[in-house]
Structure 1
């Protein structure tokens, strides 16, 4: 059964589920799929996906490249396994007295952090629905937050996709900010604060009638941020998404 199931899945996915038998040859005791994945993640975390290759991972482990292929057949399979490993988030216990909005907030923030902890994570394109165990565990976690709400299965999955897409977008932006700072950029260059004076001269009211007032007030570059009752820009955006879901729920109840 496991052999048939494993053959129906992409090799990397089957490996993530433990559906592939370990190789009969090769350095059995010193090598494992987990060690290969850990070494690959260490390289990608430090130097990015562009520095990652099967030969580089083999070198880091002290083995030949061919010995790695006995455990992980290709780099594409390795990327799937890395993605699965990076998706192993700490899922909090369910608390009945916590409202669904707070549960979604916790889920989104943890998802955002994954992109910051592993900067390469967002560089791997989405190629389909989640199939690997840790990815599916995250989906299950998000669905748990919606338990008891008057949503059908389609609405639940669409809600998870909505908040997950927002988390991915924010996570990639915050990851890029982290990269810019690590590369020596000032926080002001990322927010535009370093260029406030130049922008005030370049953004004229005749050419940019709607943007000009925001640049003049200092809000555009966060020189003079106006009060936001929920935190930063990203928190504000999440709250508006939650407001929209709540309005939808209210409308369903009144029908």
Structure 2
């Protein structure tokens, strides 16, 4: 078995290979309970409401008790993000349909951002290295399996779609937050009237017509509306489709066209996204899916524990061999000195 490099403490926690505290304050406390409590606070109050002291108080423990399990708030945030993305994606389409599958993936990611909007406030510190983030990337790559794209183009496509989804979630959240700060009122008509007074055709010749027609100031969308998100996502997928067509080998055009999920024309935006949104909701709340996911997680946990034991035994074997070699060298040196 290939030796696995030692992971940083915060990543070891997400992979379930970190050392568990030998002296726990009480059996009821665990990393899982700590993270669940932190997520509940963040869902209710945002990321600003999360602190080690606040989480400890909600669980009925001292702050120092938490540090036996999670060494810093940064570690806690990483674990919270990992829990937020612990979602079950739908199975692959057969025959493959990259556009439909990538659309589903984007909607699942969007649903996660909307369910846990505080995730958007966690700084991105590098490439995904945690299990659930890597699993999400794996599902996105699965969606592109039938395309002629190379590895780099596939990764770039995932970043493009995720970037759009993340920005759409961030914009929606901030608009609702702004509405909340005005007692839930968003005076679109008043803002439009103000802009008509301020935006003239001399300084803003291209913006003025939109302001006149009332197209510039949007209504604040409800969280379950998908019109603007649908349009933007479909246009993003249109661009990917055009690039796939360019990348198709000369003798493989039919194959790419077959799996393109509508290269010649995207489906009706709102209808397509509403249909996928319904699939997302039904699939993510299905009792059988949740039960199967729980079994999968338990099996993964057992695999991680077994792998950890193997690594410990391999390390012990290496140490023993090293000690044996050193003892043999010392013995040879003693024999040489006696001659």
TM-score if structure 2 supplies the norm length? Answer: 0.67
Greater CA drift, 77-86 or 243-252: 243-252
2:238 to 226, 243, 255: 243
* Contact persistence 1:2–1:19 (CA under 8 A): no
Q: For residues 3-61 of structure 1, what are the alpha-carbon distances to aligned partners after superposition, in whole Å with 9 as ceiling and x for unaligned? A: 964xx333221101111121010235201100000011111111122221111111111
Between 1 and 2, higher relative CO (CA 8 Å, sep ≥ 6) is seen in 2
Q: For residues 162-201 of structure 1, what are the alpha-carbon distances to aligned partners after superposition, in whole Å with 9 as ceiling and x for unaligned? A: 1011111111111223333444232x44xx4431111112
How far the C-alpha of 1:2 sits from its partner, in A, is 11
Equivalence map 1:81-100=2 (5 Å): 81-97=79-95, 99-100=97-98
Greater percentage in helix: 2
CA distance in 2, matches of 1:51, 1:26: 26
How far the C-alpha of 1:83 sits from its partner, in A, is 0.7
How far the C-alpha of 1:124 sits from its partner, in A, is 0.4
Greater CA drift, 196-205 or 122-131: 196-205
Q: Does residue 127 of the first structure (1) align with residue 122 of the second (2)?
A: no
* 2:89 alignment partner, SS class: coil
Q: Which residue of 1 aligns with 2:11?
A: 13
CA distance in 2, matches of 1:96, 1:82: 34
* 2:196 alignment partner, SS class: helix
* Contact persistence 1:205–1:212 (CA under 8 A): yes
Structure (1 or 2) with the larger CA radius of gyration: 2
Q: Does residue 202 of the first structure (1) align with residue 198 of the second (2)?
A: yes
How far the C-alpha of 1:233 sits from its partner, in A, is 2.3
Q: Which residue of 2 aligns with 1:165?
A: 163
CA-based RMSD of the aligned residues comes to: 2.1
TM-score if structure 1 supplies the norm length? Answer: 0.88
The number of equivalent residue pairs is 243
* 2:126 alignment partner, SS class: coil
Large movers: runs of 4+ above 3 Å: 1-5, 180-183
Q: Does residue 252 of the first structure (1) align with residue 251 of the second (2)?
A: no
* Contact persistence 1:107–1:142 (CA under 8 A): yes
CA distance in 2, matches of 1:222, 1:178: 13
How far the C-alpha of 1:138 sits from its partner, in A, is 0.6
CA distance in 2, matches of 1:252, 1:165: 22
CA distance in 2, matches of 1:79, 1:88: 14
Q: Which residue of 1 aligns with 2:24?
A: 26
How far the C-alpha of 1:121 sits from its partner, in A, is 0.6
* 2:48 alignment partner, SS class: helix
* Uncovered stretches (5+) of structure 2, i.e. residues with no partner: 220-225, 251-339
* Uncovered stretches (5+) of structure 1, i.e. residues with no partner: 224-230
CA distance in 1, matches of 2:44, 2:167: 22
CA distance in 1, matches of 2:74, 2:174: 24
Q: Does residue 234 of the first structure (1) align with residue 229 of the second (2)?
A: yes
* Contact persistence 1:214–1:220 (CA under 8 A): yes
* 1:120 alignment partner, SS class: helix
How far the C-alpha of 1:128 sits from its partner, in A, is 0.3
* Contact persistence 2:31–2:70 (CA under 8 A): yes
